[in-house]
Amino acid sequence: MARDPVLTFTDKGIYCPAGDFYVDPWRPVPRALITHGHSDHARPGHAEYLTTDLAAPVMRHRLGDIKIETVTYGKKIRLGEATVSFHPAGHVPGSAQIRIEVAGEVWVASGDYKLEDDRLSTPFEPVRCHTFITESTFGLPVFRWRPQVEIAHEINDWWRSCIAAGTTPILGAYALGKAQRLLCLLDSSIGPVLTHGAVENTNDVLRDQGLRLPQTTRITPDLNPADHPGALVLATPAAFGSTWARRFGPVSTGFASGWMQLRGVRRRRAADRGFVISDHADWNGLNTAIRETGAENIYVTHGYTEIFTHWLNEQGFRAKVIPTEFEGETLDAEDA
């Protein structure tokens, strides 16, 4: 006799009938388990939220006065007939995969994840399961990330070249996760780092919960760039070409994203430099993570879903595309 699925896929989101909760739902629901604080996964309007203790401060900052419970990594809790635990996803600080067990059947909803240790997020941990729900944002063989230390050298060399040319480097990064990761890769001996308000607001939240970040200076209306010679500006992508950016005089713009791997994308972003670095798993990372789960059934939620699912089926998995409203790493959103 076939078992009922641990999770079902509805127009509101991924639902667990045995526990009566949703995972990262995109419509308002009574109870939402949230993998991390990016806006395509942590949305407003739910009656109750459950997430990791490390993700909760950013969610409160973004969503306001919400009813939220927290749990530490690895702790098992009982929700109805389901046993639930959160495990590191390595995506951004506090991000988690959610393990759900019902009558001995284990499913894992991974949210977004990456395998490279960025020394900022709790490193990814594979979770054994029967069914694994994965993203495929960069689910093509062309996406293979170089070590982040090499990208750090590229960014710092660009910073130095900008100083030599008399221009101010503006580095575009999403306010949660990517901005802090880049901040930790910057060579502070080159000069000061000035931050856009959206980036610095997130920095403040993360610092308040004990995350050690390098020193930054918030850009306020009365800040005089001349008082900060040799500075690099860390901003959200929307700052490129804006009135806000004109105060820095001649600038050189850089954009950090996995999409910089593709020709033509840098031109779309109107950036002078593109740096290939992502908080999502690359092709090798996706395949490694899936193999290490031991799962036979794979559901693919967002990204290159059709191509990646076809590949997984060729490798002997039972894989299927599941439509969702998750976005992954985008070129236009401010915090994806």
State the pLDDT confidence band at 336, using cuts at 50, 70 and 90. very low
Q: Rounded CA gap, 202 and 206, in Å?
A: 6
State the pLDDT confidence band at 266, using cuts at 50, 70 and 90. low
Rg, the chain, Cα only: 20
Q: Rounded CA gap, 211 and 217, in Å?
A: 17
Count of Cβ atoms closer than 10 Å to residue 316 Cβ: 8
State the pLDDT confidence band at 268, using cuts at 50, 70 and 90. low
322 versus 335: the higher-pLDDT residue is: 322
The per-residue pLDDT for 61 is 96
State the pLDDT confidence band at 1, using cuts at 50, 70 and 90. very low
State the pLDDT confidence band at 264, using cuts at 50, 70 and 90. low
Q: Which two tokens stand for residue 171?
A: 């580095």
The per-residue pLDDT for 239 is 84
The per-residue pLDDT for 332 is 52
The burial of 78, by beta-carbon neighbours within 10 Å (0-12 exposed, 13-18 middle, 19 or more buried), is given as exposed
Using the predicted structure, report yes or no on whether residue 270 has a pLDDT greater than 70. Answer: no
What percent of the chain is modeled with pLDDT above 90?
A: 89
- Candidate from 262-276, 293-307, 317-331 with smallest mean pLDDT: 262-276
Q: Which two tokens stand for residue 326?
A: 């998750």
**What's the predicted TM-score (pTM) here?**
0.95
Domains defined for the chain, CATH in brackets: 8-143+280-321 (3.60.15.10), 148-275 (3.40.50.10890)
Region 181-189: what's the mean pLDDT? 97
Mean of per-residue pLDDT scores for the chain: 94
The per-residue pLDDT for 45 is 97
pLDDT digit string, tens, across residues 80-131: 999 999 999 999 999 999 999 999 999 999 999 999 999 999 999 999 999 9
The per-residue pLDDT for 218 is 98
Distances (CA, A) of 205 to 175, 200, 259, 266: 11, 9, 28, 31
